């Protein structure tokens, strides 16, 4: 069990970090979301760290950590590990400070993140199948060579740098009632919690801080329940930026003391949130940056019994692989009932396909793809299998299309 001690980061650390970041990190905008406000029935604002330099909040903590290195430490160079955003933050900070950077990234990392990290001048080594394996190799290299290891979240300077977002939130929306953001290792959530809870205490206010994890990469709920770090056996989520299997020890100490709740969201919820932000707010956000919006859309505040008048969601990053974006958009549209794939077994006789086409057209759905086959291990002589992708207008419309097909004697099966 982790012993309760003085918090490793306090408000004055974050205020000092803000001074260090002057002219380095952008003061990102706070945008009101009319669409989200209407959806949940209270005012919602988006803190757009997806518009930060290098596309995420990570440059804040990385720069603060590295700016405080001695000249001797800088001469040894730095090493880090990341699925992308911390890598770019470290690479950008290293270039600005004139420090050699070596960064380990998992095999299969998104090409845009890999390319951007190299473009900032860092040496990139691909190692391991996830962030934890890359982290272990980076730590081994640091021990062997003397390079300074820049941890993505388990360091007080990193936490203080990320916490500067909390100061900006309070300056941009002083009467905020709740703040939601994603959590992987916990550096962002911990830093923002220190900044906001400390200032709220000075003002005699209660501002709720809610962390959000992908349900397939949620190490914090069991860790908080056990009051100890509980690693996950497996981590599998489209939100690679928060795909961390073990909480950071320092962030955990802070989150346990200051954060009100940590909730989880589904993969479909993540996809839906990403599409929602693109379509309704015109913002490109990666899945890890959209988890707070996913929590709102899935009604997590209501489940917690919270009804804040003004809520801020931190959009922590916008670095998404276009190939992943294509997949996520399709999944998000499907989750929103706007993309429907059905499979049906038909008698192999003239007119069946024409009848299906008529029913779909009269239902005002639009076919985007059709697969028609007479051959397959599950097909009997005289049978045909047909798979149809179509654009629909929501869950109610999708159900109407299905009912209309059933009324004609067909048995459509919804495909994932």
Burial class (CB in 10 A: 0-12, 13-18, 19+), 136: middle
Cα 295 to Cα 369: distance, rounded to the nearest angstrom: 32
Q: Which of 42, 47, 56, 58 is catalytic?
A: 58
Element (H, E) at 48: strand 43-48
Task: Please list, in sequence order, all residues whose beta carbon lies within 8 angstroms of the beta carbon of residue 110, skipping any fewer than 6 positions away.
Answer: 83, 84, 240, 319, 320, 321, 324
Q: Which of 42, 56, 198, 316 is catalytic?
A: 316
Question: Measuring CA to CA, how many Å separate 23 from each of 15, 56, 169, 244, 278?
Answer: 15, 16, 18, 31, 29
Pairing verdict, β 148-149 and 123-126:
unpaired
Residue 48 in contact with residue 28, Cβ under 8 Å? yes
Instruction: Please indicate whether residue 201 is annotated as part of the active site.
Output: no
Closest among 222, 218, 146, 142 to 185, alpha carbons compared: 218
Instruction: Please indicate whether residue 37 is annotated as part of the active site.
Output: no
Burial class (CB in 10 A: 0-12, 13-18, 19+), 133: middle
| Lookup: tokens for 54 | 């290098």
Catalytically active residues are: 58, 316
């Amino acid at each position: 069990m982790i012993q309760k001690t003085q918090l490793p980061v306090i408000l004055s650390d974050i205020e000092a970090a803000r001074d260090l970041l002057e002219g380095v990190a952008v003061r990102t905008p706070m945008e009101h979301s009319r669409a989200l406000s209407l959806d949940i029935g209270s005012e919602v604002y988006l803190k757009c760290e997806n518009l930060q330099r290098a596309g995420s909040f990570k440059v804040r903590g990385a720069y603060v950590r590295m700016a405080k290195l001695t000249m001797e430490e800088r001469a040894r160079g730095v090493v880090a590990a990341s699925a992308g955003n911390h890598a770019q933050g470290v690479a950008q900070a290293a270039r600005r400070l004139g420090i050699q950077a070596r960064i380990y990234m998992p095999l299969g990392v998104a090409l845009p993140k890999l390319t951007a990290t190299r473009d900032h001048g860092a040496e990139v080594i691909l190692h391991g199948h996830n962030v934890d394996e890359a982290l272990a190799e980076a730590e081994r290299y640091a021990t062997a060579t003397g390079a300074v290891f820049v941890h993505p979240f388990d360091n007080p300077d990193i936490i203080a740098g990320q916490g500067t977002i909390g100061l900006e939130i309070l300056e941009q929306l002083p009467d905020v009632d709740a703040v939601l953001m994603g959590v992987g290792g916990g550096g962002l959530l911990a830093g923002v919690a220190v900044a906001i809870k400390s200032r709220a205490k000075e003002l005699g206010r209660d501002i709720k801080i809610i962390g959000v994890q992908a349900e397939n990469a949620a190490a914090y709920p069991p860790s908080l329940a056990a009051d100890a770090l509980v690693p996950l056996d497996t981590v599998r989520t489209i939100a690679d930026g928060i795909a961390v299997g073990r909480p950071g020890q320092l962030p955990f100490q802070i989150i346990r003391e200051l954060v009100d709740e940590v909730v989880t969201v589904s993969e479909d919820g993540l996809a839906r949130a990403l599409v929602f932000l693109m379509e309704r707010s015109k913002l490109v956000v990666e899945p890890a940056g959209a988890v707070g919006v996913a929590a709102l859309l899935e009604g997590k505040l209501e489940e917690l019994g919270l009804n804040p008048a003004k809520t801020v969601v931190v959009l922590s990053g916008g670095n998404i692989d276009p190939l992943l974006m294509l997949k996520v958009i399709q999944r998000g549209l499907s989750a929103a009932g706007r993309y429907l794939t059905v499979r049906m077994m038909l008698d192999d006789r003239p007119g069946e396909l024409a009848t299906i086409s008529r029913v779909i057209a009269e239902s005002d759905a639009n076919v985007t793809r059709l697969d028609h086959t007479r051959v397959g291990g599950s097909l009997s002589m005289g049978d045909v299998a047909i798979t149809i992708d179509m654009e629909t207008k929501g869950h109610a419309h999708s159900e109407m299309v299905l009912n209309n097909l059933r009324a004609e004697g067909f048995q459509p099966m919804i495909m994932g």
